[in-house]
């Protein structure tokens, strides 16, 4: 049985020592002092470890089942959902007027990591609801907000997002689901949607489907797509669920992982829906939530990696196998623990340095979202918009790789389902795919975000790195050598790649697009390098100030040194690949593959 311990201490270090959130001028941040966030995170951690985590394997083993049109979640999910609702967790960062607690997004993110890490499939029921509620909050009429938001903020009703159809995934212009206007202002929605997470289940009184569809007679392609609210049960005058709408579950998909979440084929057979936002502006309404949703998925990459790491670490300390080549470490035992072996450490340090770096990156990104939304800071909005594909693509790719590495520590036991390590990899795998497959993230980064607003945001990023280096260098030679120099080198690689794209992409866009995936990864490494340089500086300052918990800060610095020395050199490889251009990538005719 795997373990899970919420990373409250590490989150607190990032929030208060590195980011100093309560000292920043973002509205709502002043209240976020260490005591307050510590109390929130500790409570969240208890729910994660004691309620959600024990159901993680149950969800994986049982999965969801469809019987006579009704979807049943795994044993225990319903009770746990009641507990999460009772704690007010779903509305943590939702407006007070709809029953939420109005906390900043950064707190929702820190809590979200714990919930996801302890049970991703379960937490998705709440996560999708959050996304759908945010869309209604941003684009709904007052009536729509009053009808749906109080129920959704409490998770009394849950939500879904319906985009994909069998023949249409990334390219939503191919969509066939149609919406026929009715005399009463509603629409009849007809079509089939697939891969609908939390599509149906037995934990809520109603399910609010947000459905992309084309209004009959509207423009062709993506410009004719609108967004609709289609409740499972029609809503009565008094706000209670009424008659069943014409939406049903076609089947539950058999997936590689996240078995505890009901991923459904949804059939809309003239279901009644109401326009959300403007006609033919469905994509815009969807994309409003994109930065948050994608940051949330990047967070899942981190979450699964951390959960897997915690177990790999315990196993490496417990399992006795072989002897330390430099001298026996456990003379009274039949062998030394795995953790004495350099290659096991290399593996664990990869995981640890990724996980802590990613946590800093995610929480920092969440503060940028808060700054953009709460303080109306356009620069923060531009920066987080630039980095969103990096957060989503890099952290889910690397997060997945780390779950695979964690599994490897277990040897043969890692392959046996009973030990739980397989589930971490199988669950983590989806995050590389949904909310825009990672190749699409890379395309978004290189094809759109780099040049956005005349390249202003990427220049601001480089300026931020430069300023940090200037401010931090020259005080401690060891720090400069371990952190500033590698960060500068990696940042230089990234700039060289950006320059290559500008120069060569003009001649042929394929020169840029062939390197997009490598660019996304090198960008991620530079971001984590920056986070580590910041964390190490913070930790050193705490040590210099005579902090009592020296081991914590020294470990932080040592882990950062590992990342800079062992992970950051990847940027040069990515640059070499990028600079080799499109020729070898595009050389073959499709028929000759």
Residue from 150, 157, 431 nearest 294 by CA: 431
In the complex, the smallest distance separating the C-beta of residue 341 from a copy of itself, rounded to whole angstroms, is 7
In the complex, the smallest distance separating the C-beta of residue 425 from a copy of itself, rounded to whole angstroms, is 8
* Residue 562 sits in the site that holds a copy of itself (CB under 8 A): yes
* Residue 569 sits in the site that holds a copy of itself (CB under 8 A): yes
Of 23 and 417, which CB lies nearer to a copy of itself in the complex structure? Answer: 417
Q: What backbone torsions phi and psi does residue 81 show, to the nearest 5 degrees?
A: -60, -40
* Residue 572 sits in the site that holds a copy of itself (CB under 8 A): yes
Task: With contacts defined by CB under 8 A, name the span among 13-21, 75-83, 336-344, 473-481 that binds a copy of itself.
Answer: 336-344
* Residue 400 sits in the site that holds a copy of itself (CB under 8 A): yes
Ranges within 102-131 binding a copy of itself (CB under 8 A): none
Give dist(CA 114, CA 359) in Å, integer. Answer: 11
Of 93 and 397, which CB lies nearer to a copy of itself in the complex structure? Answer: 397
Q: 383, 374 in Cβ contact below 8 A?
A: no
Give dist(CA 213, CA 192) in Å, integer. Answer: 10
Bridge partners for 314 per DSSP: none
In the complex, the smallest distance separating the C-beta of residue 28 from a copy of itself, rounded to whole angstroms, is 35
Ranges within 348-377 binding a copy of itself (CB under 8 A): 348-349, 352
Of 193 and 537, which CB lies nearer to a copy of itself in the complex structure? Answer: 193
The site that binds a copy of itself (CB under 8 A) totals a number of residues, namely: 95
Give dist(CA 19, CA 35) in Å, integer. Answer: 15
Of 375 and 572, which CB lies nearer to a copy of itself in the complex structure? Answer: 572
Q: 335, 390 in Cβ contact below 8 A?
A: no
Ranges within 250-309 binding a copy of itself (CB under 8 A): 253-257
Task: With contacts defined by CB under 8 A, name the span among 198-206, 207-215, 329-337, 539-547 that binds a copy of itself.
Answer: 329-337
Residue from 354, 364, 319 nearest 337 by CA: 319
Collect all residues with Cβ–Cβ distance below 8 Å to 534 and sequence separation of at least 6. Answer: 18, 360, 468
In the complex, the smallest distance separating the C-beta of residue 5 from a copy of itself, rounded to whole angstroms, is 13
Give dist(CA 496, CA 524) in Å, integer. Answer: 15
Of 277 and 515, which CB lies nearer to a copy of itself in the complex structure? Answer: 515
Helix orientation angle between 77-86 and 120-139, rounded to the nearest 10 degrees: 50
User: Distances from the Cα of 449 to the Cαs of 319, 383, 386, 396, in angstroms?
Assistant: 47, 9, 5, 19
* Residue 194 sits in the site that holds a copy of itself (CB under 8 A): yes
In the complex, the smallest distance separating the C-beta of residue 241 from a copy of itself, rounded to whole angstroms, is 30
Catalytic member of 254, 278, 435, 463: 435
Instruction: Tell which one of 49, 509, 543, 547 touches a copy of itself (CB under 8 A).
Output: 509
* Residue 507 sits in the site that holds a copy of itself (CB under 8 A): no
Of 244 and 566, which CB lies nearer to a copy of itself in the complex structure? Answer: 566
Task: With contacts defined by CB under 8 A, name the span among 39-47, 111-119, 366-374, 409-417 that binds a copy of itself.
Answer: 409-417
Give dist(CA 127, CA 111) in Å, integer. Answer: 12
Q: 87, 48 in Cβ contact below 8 A?
A: no
Of 157 and 479, which CB lies nearer to a copy of itself in the complex structure? Answer: 479
Instruction: Tell which one of 1, 459, 499, 576 touches a copy of itself (CB under 8 A).
Output: 576
Task: With contacts defined by CB under 8 A, name the span among 112-120, 280-288, 490-498, 580-588 that binds a copy of itself.
Answer: 580-588
Of 464 and 576, which CB lies nearer to a copy of itself in the complex structure? Answer: 576
Joined together, the tokens standing for residue 110 give 């820190």
* Residue 584 sits in the site that holds a copy of itself (CB under 8 A): yes
For residue 100, the Cα-to-chain-centroid distance in whole angstroms is 22
* Residue 558 sits in the site that holds a copy of itself (CB under 8 A): yes
3-state secondary structure of 247: strand
User: Distances from the Cα of 424 to the Cαs of 43, 121, 384, 458, 516, in angstroms?
Assistant: 24, 11, 28, 34, 28
Ranges within 147-176 binding a copy of itself (CB under 8 A): 164, 167-171, 173-174
Q: 209, 231 in Cβ contact below 8 A?
A: yes
Q: 401, 407 in Cβ contact below 8 A?
A: no
Of 60 and 381, which CB lies nearer to a copy of itself in the complex structure? Answer: 60
One symbol per residue from 305 to 324: x for binding a copy of itself (CB under 8 A), - otherwise; what is it?
Answer: --------x---x--xxx--
279 labelled catalytic:
no
Q: 65, 252 in Cβ contact below 8 A?
A: yes
Q: 171, 225 in Cβ contact below 8 A?
A: no
* Residue 577 sits in the site that holds a copy of itself (CB under 8 A): yes
Ranges within 444-503 binding a copy of itself (CB under 8 A): 447
* Residue 514 sits in the site that holds a copy of itself (CB under 8 A): yes
* Residue 417 sits in the site that holds a copy of itself (CB under 8 A): yes
Of 86 and 587, which CB lies nearer to a copy of itself in the complex structure? Answer: 587
* Residue 341 sits in the site that holds a copy of itself (CB under 8 A): yes
Give dist(CA 518, CA 524) in Å, integer. Answer: 10
Task: With contacts defined by CB under 8 A, name the span among 77-85, 270-278, 384-392, 560-568 that binds a copy of itself.
Answer: 560-568
Task: With contacts defined by CB under 8 A, name the span among 35-43, 183-191, 282-290, 570-578 that binds a copy of itself.
Answer: 570-578
Give dist(CA 491, CA 484) in Å, integer. Answer: 10
* Residue 331 sits in the site that holds a copy of itself (CB under 8 A): no
Residue from 117, 45, 110, 54 nearest 402 by CA: 117
Task: With contacts defined by CB under 8 A, name the span among 6-14, 181-189, 335-343, 357-365 that binds a copy of itself.
Answer: 335-343
**DSSP-assigned letters across all residues of 144-196:** HHHHHHHHHHTTSEEEEEE--BTTBSS-GGG---EEEE-TTS-EEEEEEEEEE
List helix spans (H) across 508-567. 509-513, 516-544, 550-562
* Residue 588 sits in the site that holds a copy of itself (CB under 8 A): yes
* Residue 337 sits in the site that holds a copy of itself (CB under 8 A): yes
* Residue 592 sits in the site that holds a copy of itself (CB under 8 A): yes
List helix spans (H) across 319-377. 342-374
User: Distances from the Cα of 191 to the Cαs of 8, 188, 243, 271, 386, in angstroms?
Assistant: 45, 10, 20, 9, 34
Instruction: Tell which one of 129, 438, 538, 540 touches a copy of itself (CB under 8 A).
Output: 438
Of 186 and 571, which CB lies nearer to a copy of itself in the complex structure? Answer: 571
| Catalytic residue annotation | 435
């Amino acid at each position: 049985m795997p373990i899970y311990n919420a990373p409250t201490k590490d989150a607190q270090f990032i929030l208060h020592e590195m980011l100093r959130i309560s000292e920043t001028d973002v509205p709502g941040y002043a209240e976020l002092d260490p005591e307050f966030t510590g109390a929130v995170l500790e409570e969240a951690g208890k729910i994660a470890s004691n309620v959600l985590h024990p159901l993680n394997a149950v969800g994986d083993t049982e999965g969801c089942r469809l019987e006579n049109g009704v979807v049943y979640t795994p044993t225990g999910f319903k009770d746990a959902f009641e507990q999460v609702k009772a704690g007010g967790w779903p509305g943590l960062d939702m407006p007070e007027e709809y029953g939420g607690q109005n906390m900043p997004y950064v707190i929702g993110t820190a809590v979200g990591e714990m919930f996801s890490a302890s049970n991703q499939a379960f937490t998705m029921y709440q996560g999708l609801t959050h996304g759908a509620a945010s869309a209604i909050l941003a684009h709904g009429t007052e009536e729509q907000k009053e009808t749906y938001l109080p129920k959704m903020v409490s998770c009394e009703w849950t939500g879904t997002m319906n985009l994909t159809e069998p023949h249409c995934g990334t390219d939503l212009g191919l969509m066939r689901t149609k919406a026929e206007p009715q005399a009463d202002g509603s629409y009849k929605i007809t079509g089939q949607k697939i891969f609908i997470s939390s599509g149906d289940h037995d934990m809520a009184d109603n399910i609010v489907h947000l459905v992309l569809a084309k209004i009959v007679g509207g423009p062709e392609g993506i410009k004719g797509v609108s967004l609709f609210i289609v409740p499972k049960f029609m809503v009565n005058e008094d706000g209670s669920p009424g008659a069943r709408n014409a939406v049903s579950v076609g089947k539950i998909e058999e997936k590689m992982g996240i078995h505890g979440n009901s991923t459904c084929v949804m059939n809309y057979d003239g279901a009644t829906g109401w326009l959300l936002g403007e006609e033919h502006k469905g994509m815009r309404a969807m994309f409003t939530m994109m930065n948050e949703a994608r940051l949330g998925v990047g967070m899942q990459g981190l979450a699964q990696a951390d959960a897997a790491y915690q177990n790999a670490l315990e196993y490496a300390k417990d399992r006795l196998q072989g002897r330390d080549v430099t001298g026996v470490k456990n003379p009274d035992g039949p062998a030394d623990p795995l953790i004495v072996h350099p290659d096991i450490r290399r593996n664990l340090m990869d995981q640890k340095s990724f996980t802590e770096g990613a946590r800093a990156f995610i929480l920092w990104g969440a503060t940028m979202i808060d700054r953009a939304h709460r303080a109306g800071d356009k620069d923060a909005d531009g920066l987080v918009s630039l980095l969103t594909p990096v957060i989503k693509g890099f952290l889910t790719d690397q997060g997945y790789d780390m779950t695979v590495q964690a599994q490897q520590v277990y040897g043969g036991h890692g392959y046996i389902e009973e030990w739980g390590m397989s589930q971490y990899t199988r669950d983590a795998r989806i995050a590389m795919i949904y909310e825009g497959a990672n190749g699409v993230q890379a395309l978004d980064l290189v094809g759109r975000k780099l040049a956005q607003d005349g390249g202003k945001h990427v220049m601001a990023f480089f300026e931020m790195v430069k300023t940090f280096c200037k401010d931090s260098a020259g005080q401690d030679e060891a720090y400069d050598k371990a952190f500033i120099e590698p960060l500068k080198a990696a940042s230089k690689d990234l700039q060289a790649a950006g320059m290559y794209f500008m120069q060569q992409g003009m001649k042929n866009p394929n020169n840029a697009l062939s390197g997009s995936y490598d660019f996304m990864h090198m960008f991620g490494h530079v971001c984590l390098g920056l986070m580590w340089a910041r964390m190490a500086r913070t930790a050193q300052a705490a040590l210099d100030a005579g902090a009592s918990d020296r081991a914590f800060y020294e470990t932080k610095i040592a882990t950062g040194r590992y990342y800079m020395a062992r992970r950051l050199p990847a940027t040069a490889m990515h640059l070499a690949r990028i600079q080799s251009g499109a020729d070898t990538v595009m050389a073959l005719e499709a028929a000759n593959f």
